[in-house]
């Protein structure tokens, strides 16, 4: 098949796709134009129900401490905090400049993403937990989904590599792991990736299988 024929096939395919899309739009417009009062009422009621569900969710999130970064005092508080949570991000920190920058972003994101609980814990005051989770660099963000640690963001390399990294980069990484609701504005133009999201933790370290049930076994001897 020569180049001219290939071009013709491509043009025919493009025209065919455009025709299908146009037909679908015409069908949708036709349905909208022919909605009766009952249809409009059902749509209105559906929207009201949706808003009510969103309000109930928001009230529950706020009651559980969402909307701000909560300080955790110890390991027990970490396990207690993740119980019943669909999504949680825990910042392991110490008193250094990089952790202060991450704290600033966590505070801003907590206010924007009520769907996720944001907490932080002083790594130096929680040696047991930092050892169990193999926390070896600070800051580290521990990503939790449905009461299980799924991954980590270690240091700043994956969000820009310096203290002045853009919050957008951090959102992209957190969104890719599903711990916040984030729509990448460039996703529509980008080619979709195949396969699972890349593990953020480097060096071949396997993500720790840890969940809130560990509180009972790991701290049963603690008063």
The pLDDT tens digits of the residues spanning 175-204 come to 999 999 988 666 544 444 444 444 455 433
Residue 63 pLDDT greater than 90, yes or no: no
Token reading at 121:
């814990």
The pLDDT tens digits of the residues spanning 123-152 come to 999 999 999 999 999 999 999 999 999 999
Cα–Cα distance measured from residue 39 to residue 215, given in angstroms and rounded to the nearest whole number: 51
Residue found under tokens 């065919």: 16
**Which residues does 41 contact at the CB level (< 8 Å), separation at least 6?**
none
State the Cα angle at 122 between 212 and 96, rounded to 5°: 140
Cα–Cα distance measured from residue 156 to residue 61, given in angstroms and rounded to the nearest whole number: 28
Q: Please tell me which residue, 199 or 63, carries the higher pLDDT value.
A: 63
Contact 198, 153 (CB under 8 A): no
Mean pLDDT of the chain: 80
Region 63-79: mean pLDDT is 92
Nearest CA to 133 out of 115, 145, 119, 151 is that of 151
Instruction: Decide: pTM greater than 0.85.
Output: no
Residue 116 pLDDT greater than 90, yes or no: yes
H or E element: which one contains 119?
A: strand 117-122
């Amino acid at each position: 098949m020569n180049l001219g024929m290939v071009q013709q096939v491509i043009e025919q395919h493009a025209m065919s796709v455009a025709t299908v899309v146009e037909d679908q739009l015409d069908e949708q417009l036709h349905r909208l134009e022919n909605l009766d009062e009952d249809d409009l009422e059902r749509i209105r009621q559906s929207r009201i129900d949706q808003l009510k569900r969103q309000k109930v969710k928001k009230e529950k999130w706020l009651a559980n401490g969402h909307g701000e970064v909560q300080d955790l005092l110890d390991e027990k508080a970490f396990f207690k905090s993740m119980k019943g949570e669909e999504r949680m991000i825990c910042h392991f920190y110490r008193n250094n400049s990089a952790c202060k920058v991450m704290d600033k972003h966590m505070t801003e994101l907590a206010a924007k993403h009520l769907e996720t609980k944001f907490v932080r814990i002083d790594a130096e005051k929680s040696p047991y937990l930092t050892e169990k989770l193999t926390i070896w660099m600070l800051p580290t963000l521990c990503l939790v989904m449905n009461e299980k640690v799924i991954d980590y963001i270690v240091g700043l390399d994956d969000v820009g590599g310096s203290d002045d990294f853009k919050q957008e980069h951090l959102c992209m990484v957190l969104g890719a792991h599903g711990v916040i609701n984030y729509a990448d504005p460039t996703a529509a133009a980008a080619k979709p990736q195949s396969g699972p999201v890349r593990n953020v933790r480097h060096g071949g370290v396997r993500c720790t299988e840890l969940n809130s049930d560990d509180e009972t076994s790991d701290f049963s001897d603690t008063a």
